A and B are shown apart, each in its own frame.
Chain A
């Protein structure tokens, strides 16, 4: 393709994009009922009023995400290693791992959150925190550990058995081989799918609001209830998107870089 064709292609692409989105915008804003929609969801005054409080509440989402993520990464790795243990003696551990992953991937997240968030404090046990946020985090950790352990496990299984064989042939124990040879390669390979699960977790922090913790979703619900206007939901949605889009692009970039690197590798 010559340079002239490339430039013409770019002009066509820009023109068609501008025309398409202009038509779409005109169609939406001229549709019957648009004024009501605009008043209910896109009220600039409401947006400005609710954004500061929702942003403050959103910090709780970020906090829940960060705390949960650390525990998920560690527990999921332990679970994945448990499921990859060799030998007949480790069967009960493998079964436990399989049962755990099956259960927590099968049960709706909101159900686990409700069960723990409402149920655990109701036990009135000593030394058990009553904070709904605490139990919300515990529930998210339980559920996401199941998902993320599957990701780790896929990574462990993707490392060719000849790598472990080489390590063992040098006299390394199973654990030494796992720690120094298999896991470092496995984890590197699953970073993109891990980030994908992070994105899911970021969104699911909103489920903790269901327990009454005032995070971004709960705050926007409070605002909406007070004003009968739903612009606050849009504000909360924008905050989530602002956080997940960079992570999603970063993940795409990592996948692309990984693919390029593998294709460029000699042989």
Chain B
């Protein structure tokens, strides 16, 4: 199996705070990897580094065999192959759903308006959003907005999807519809790196779970092993807190 994403000794500091302290991670094609860990453990920063939204201080990141962290790499070209979906959706509020989805294919890929619209409508239809194409984001529910954000990322036909706590801002009854979309992507073979607090979802969807602690991957393995028989005391503590909060 070839590797879609490789991180080698990735380090990142904000000021004096070292948020990532040597991350080594390999994600195979079509693999779904979930990152879990307490807030502040560096999960979101890790995703932002892979998408080059944050420059790394040391180490290297390789996507589809191409190192993206060397000098002279066209960041815009790299990002076109990596979709990212944020916790707060970050849809463009001044654009209709259709324009949100077609903007990047038109500007970054040079796809014609008609072709971009046709592709966008097909994607919106696939995720049950076809009737919302002319609506503005603020008139949609949180779950619908997040699904549009996923469609917007998919419209770029990415090789890799990064999902950053995409259900954390949603009301509980809206979480299911978004997780359903992600399940469908996984079933379709999309390579994904997912930061999540939904442990039962992670158990369900992940091929592998990585537990991040203080900027390093402390423990990783199949969901059954990490969630049921964690070896590290820190992982056990974290999961204990999750269980006490009724989230597992």
Contact = CB atoms under 8 A, between A and B. Distances in A.
A168 B138 contact: no
B94 A170 contact: no
B92 A166 contact: yes
B141 to A, nearest CB: 9
Nearest to B155: A170
Interface in B35-65: 51, 53
Nearest to B138: A265
A169 B138 contact: no
Contacts of B86: 162, 165-166
Interface string B226-247: 0000000000000000000000
Contact of B104 (A170, A184, A265): A170
A22 interface: no
A265 B83 CA distance: 28
B90 A170 contact: no
B26 interface: no
Interface stretch (B74-82, B192-200, B202-210): B74-82
Nearest to B89: A166
Contact of A266 (B77, B79, B138, B152): B138
A165 B107 CA distance: 16
Contacts of A184: 94
Nearest to A174: B76
B103 interface: yes
Interface residues on B, range: 20 to 34
Contact of B90 (A162, A180, A188): A162
Interface residues on A, range: 10 to 19
A166 B76 contact: no
Nearest to B149: A166
Given A171-B156, A173-B76, A266-B138, A166 B90 contact: yes
A181 B104 CA distance: 11
Contacts, number: 62
A180 B107 CA distance: 10
A169 B138 CA distance: 21
A168 B75 CA distance: 9
A165 B90 contact: yes
Contacts of B224: none
Given A162-B86, A266-B138, A170 B153 contact: yes
Contact of B107 (A162, A172, A266): A172
Interface string A161-192: 01101111111110010001100110010000
A176 B75 CA distance: 14
A2 to B, nearest CB: 37
Contact of B84 (A169, A180, A185, A265): A169
A40 B91 CA distance: 63
Contact of B77 (A171, A176, A188, A265): A171
Contacts of A172: 76, 103-104, 107-108
26 contacts: A162-B88, A163-B90, A165-B53, A165-B86, A166-B90, A166-B91, A167-B103, A167-B104, A168-B53, A168-B79, A169-B53, A169-B82, A169-B83, A169-B84, A170-B80, A171-B76, A171-B108, A171-B156, A172-B104, A172-B107, A176-B107, A180-B103, A180-B107, A181-B92, A185-B92, A265-B138
Interface of A: 162-163, 165-173, 176, 180-181, 184-185, 188, 265-266
Given A168-B76, A170-B103, 18 more contacts: A162-B86, A163-B90, A166-B86, A166-B90, A167-B103, A170-B104, A170-B153, A171-B76, A171-B77, A171-B156, A173-B76, A173-B108, A176-B107, A180-B107, A181-B92, A184-B94, A185-B92, A185-B93
Interface of B: 51, 53, 75-77, 79-80, 82-84, 86, 88, 90-94, 103-104, 107-109, 138, 152-153, 156
Instruction: Sort A-B residue pairs by CB-CB distance and give the 8 closest, nearest first.
Output: A170-B104, A171-B80, A166-B90, A171-B108, A171-B79, A169-B84, A162-B90, A176-B107
